[in-house]
Amino acid sequence: MDISSPTKVLFVCLGNICRSPMAEAVFTHMVNERQLADFFHIDSAGTAGYHVGNRPDSRSVATCKAHGVPVNHFARQVCPGDYEEFDFILCMDKSNLEDLMDMRPKGSKAVVSLFGAYDELKPNSIIEDPYYGGNKGFEVNFEQVTRCSEGLLKSLGF
Ligand code: 4NP
């Protein structure tokens, strides 16, 4: 693996305040704990712009905090340049995937896929939108993004 060209991973959901900042935080934490930070550039974004500039949802932050995972992000929307910059654009549900494929510039080489593709326990699982539900949804999301992060690292040879 070449430190001079880190693998660039963008996590995407709808609003970029619940699932994708959680995925960004969990993957970043795992990478830091394994002293792999030099090998990655990690960010998150939303397909929609409703929450641009906002901090992550307090329930997402509380769930991460309960597991000792720090969260540090301001919401932003996916832009065409992301398809140039990132090697992997990993999203949470099929609607995110459809939106990302619709926005994808011609000739983009970024791998665009469900993050759940890396879930070894439940292959191709959907990481459901927790926004209108209770805290349990955030805990389920946390377990999923943890498994998917493990799977992603493994698939990259770490
Ligand atoms: P996220 O969750 O896509 O995981 O950030 C949502 C956040 C906000 C809304 C929907 C989903 N919303 O409708 O405002």
pTM, two decimals, is 0.97
Q: 18, 19, 59, 119: which is the annotated catalytic residue?
A: 19
pLDDT tens series, the chain, 158 aa: 555 699 999 999 999 999 999 999 999 999 999 999 999 999 999 999 999 999 999 999 999 999 999 999 999 999 999 999 999 999 999 999 999 999 999 999 999 999 999 999 999 999 999 999 999 999 999 999 999 999 999 999 99
Buried b or exposed e, range 116-153, using 16+ CB within 10 angstroms: bebbeeeeebbbebbbeeeeebbeebbebbbbbbbbbb
User: Is 57 designated active site?
Assistant: no
Nearest atom in ligand 1 to 141's CA: 4
Q: 43, 82, 93, 129: which is the annotated catalytic residue?
A: 129
Nearest atom in ligand 1 to 19's CA: 4
